[in-house]
Chain A
Amino acid sequence: MDIQKIITTKLKQTFSPSFIEVIDESNNHNVPKGSQSHFRVTLVTDAFTGKPLIQRHRWVNTLLKTELAESIHALTLHTFTSDEWMHKGEKVKTSPPCQGGGK
């Protein structure tokens, strides 16, 4: 099962994003090889207009509820409207390195 593909498909279907990037960062973490456990998502859609960050994140978390319960261990979310994305200069910070916690 390709989790990266599932995330991308689900988010595309719901948000019709003007930009989407889903990166599998599992290899940077303290997990077995091929884990598909750590992901970073950048999602740009005007569906987020007027919505506070917590609502945007809750929305994505709800869509990916099954994946979060079964396979995703960490999900970094960068959520923008097209306007915010333009002002941001279309760049996001990288995820932090693992500190070894395992669980």
Chain B
Amino acid sequence: MDVMERIDQQVKNNPVVIFMKGSPQMPQCGFSMRAAQALQATGVEFAYVNVLTDPEIFENLPRYADWPTFPQIYINHELIGGCDITLEMYQSGELTKMCQEATATA
């Protein structure tokens, strides 16, 4: 399977997924850490992909959704943004709502 299909599968098969550096338990980057914490705080189950252990995804994810940096958070098969947007949406309550809706319909 080609790398774009592999990324696509992660996005399509998981209602909430974060592509991050490290894991939610052991993040390797402060921005990934904060975004993963916000997702954890929503209380919904989410998937993660550690881009540091998958060089192919690391190289190609930026062009998948034309977004240059990590982490990237996808809800309902759509990019919502990186760390800053995720945190702002968490603070406004929107993130929790979106995650709950996405996992409820999945």
Chain A residues close to B by CB (< 8 Å): 53-54, 57-58, 61, 65, 68-69, 74-78, 93, 95-103
Contacts and interface: CB of A to CB of B under 8 A. Distances in A.
24 contacts: A54-B81, A54-B85, A57-B84, A57-B85, A58-B66, A58-B67, A65-B68, A68-B69, A69-B68, A74-B69, A75-B69, A76-B31, A77-B84, A78-B84, A93-B87, A95-B30, A96-B30, A96-B34, A99-B22, A99-B27, A99-B28, A101-B28, A101-B29, A103-B58
Nearest to B79: A54
A6 to B, nearest CB: 16
Nearest to A73: B69
Secondary structure type dominating chain A contacts: mixed
Contacts of B68: 61, 65, 68-69, 75
Interface string B5-25: 000000000000000011000
